[in-house]
Amino acid sequence: MWWLIAAVGLGIPLVVTAMPEFGMFAVGAVASAVTAALGGGTVIQFLVFAAVSVALVAVVRPLANRHRTQSPALASGIDALKGKSATVLERVDGAGGRIKLGGEIWSARALDGDRAYEPGSQVDVVEIEGATAVVI
């Protein structure tokens, strides 16, 4: 019974602080409660608690950190438009112009202000600045 109380006690800071380590210790306490229910002695219960808690911290924490630091694999919004090809509708130069990008008409300007792209030519989107695509 004490292990279940400990599991609940460790679950409270997990919810309040969002620190997953407390959840891992709570799982260790539940494993010890199961060990106690199966008739394991006090020493075995503490060993199970320590082994399960340490194993979870050693395995789950590095996986969670790696997952948290990874950038999303699927780009969305304006990030998904970078690198896409577009068709010039109205002459695009350093001052502006129009392109068709992803089925929509966008205002655009050339990355190189001295360069101009004529209607019908293909350009690549380098960046999106506000509602303007910067192309090469």
Please write the tens of the pLDDT for every residue from 19-45: 888 888 999 999 999 999 999 999 999
Query: Average of pLDDT values for 9-15?
Result: 84
Q: What is the pLDDT of residue 11?
A: 85
**How many whole angstroms separate alpha carbon 21 and alpha carbon 15?**
11
Is there a contact between 45 and 29 (Cβ–Cβ < 8 Å)?
A: no
| Total-model pTM | 0.49
Q: Is the pLDDT of residue 6 over 80?
A: yes
- At 58-86, the pLDDT tens digits run 998 888 888 888 776 777 888 889 999 99
∠ Cα 80 102 85 (to 5°): 75
CB 89 within 8 A of CB 117: no
Res. 47: pLDDT tops 80: yes
